[in-house]
Amino acid sequence: MWPLLKAEWDDNKYLLLVIFIFMELNFLTMAYLDRSQAPLVSSLPHLLTVVALIFFFNRRFTEKRVRLQQLLPLSLKDLSVGRIFFQLWFWAGALLLCGLSHLFYGSDSARHYLVWRLLALNSLLISTNAVYLISYDLWTDVSEKSNSTRVAIIILLWIYIFLSGHFYIEPESWPLATADSIPAVNRIFYFTPWGVLLLHLISFGLCFGSVKVYQRRRTYFT
């Protein structure tokens, strides 16, 4: 598995570098805007980060890449875990950048929310990652299984991601929002330890799901 992960890193290192720089600029902008009390646009960088994620995956997850890996003398387990592992590792780096940016440039009030924000972002990224992998596998697996079930699952998963992202965006950036009007959803999930824990459980559940979906594929090309 390790030679594969090393190879994946090597193959993508320039793209990764560009994305990391892009994300760092995002986070710095966000932290700066927090400081200057212009929270309306502070969540934009987060959204852009997710877009960067999707762009990155599109480039990497091609049928040929799947085929290449599937033909290697690696067990299915190694391959499926390797995929997830690589992505998570990538996002660990992203989180580190986000955290550091906040620590050094964020405002005081921002730091208060820092912990929650970071953790919520963490679970959001892991979930998006896993859902992308699951969607790719379900969408491209050519088999005679019923199409409608697969499409339904894909749609549900992306609705979950969209809602997570939507509620993640700082409520105080909503127009006409006040501290009291932070909706219950945000309060429970993004500002309490239990909520964040639950979000993480869901994220890791989705990761596990993506491992299983890969192993269950009937074909490894489109």
Q: Quick one: which segment of 7-15, 40-48, 124-132, 178-186 binds other proteins (CB under 8 A)?
A: 7-15
Amino acid making up residue 46: H
CA 200 from centre of chain: 12
Alpha helices by DSSP H, listed for 36-62, are 44-60
Tell me if 3 contacts other proteins by CB under 8 A: yes
Asked if 70 is part of the footprint of other proteins (rule: CB under 8 A), the reply reads yes
Query: What's the farthest any 2 CA atoms get from each other in the chain?
Result: 58
- Contact call for residues 153 and 209 (beta carbons, < 8 A): no
Among 41, 68, 92, 197, binds other proteins (CB under 8 A): 68
| Intra-chain end-to-end CA distance of the chain, in Å | 24
**183, 163 Cβ separation under 8 angstroms:** no
Considering only the stretches 84-92, 95-103, 200-208, 211-219, report the one whose residues sit in contact with other proteins under the rule CB under 8 A: 211-219
Residue closer to other proteins (CB basis): 34 or 141: 141
Residue in the block written with tokens 């959204």: 47
Among 25, 44, 74, 188, the residue binding other proteins under the rule CB under 8 A is 74
Tell me how far apart the alpha carbons of residues 58 and 34 are, in angstroms, rounded to a whole number.
Answer: 32
Least CB distance from residue 145 to other proteins, whole Å? Answer: 12
Measure the CA–CA gap between 51 and 73, rounded to whole angstroms. Answer: 34
Is 221 an interacting residue with respect to other proteins (CB under 8 A)?
A: yes
Q: How far is the CB of 207 from other proteins (least distance, A)?
A: 19
Q: Does 64 bind other proteins (CB under 8 A)?
A: yes
Q: Which of residues 117-156 bind other proteins (CB under 8 A)?
A: 144
Interaction of residue 220 with other proteins, rule CB under 8 A: yes
Q: Are 37 and 29 in contact (CB under 8 A)?
A: no
Please choose, out of 22-30, 117-125, 189-197, 212-220, the segment that lies near other proteins by the rule CB under 8 A: 212-220
Token pair of 9 as six digits: 């890193």
- Select the residue interacting with other proteins from 18, 72, 92, 197 (CB under 8 A): 72
Length of the chain: 222
Residues engaged in binding other proteins (CB under 8 A): 3, 7, 10-11, 64-65, 67-68, 70-77, 144, 215, 217-221
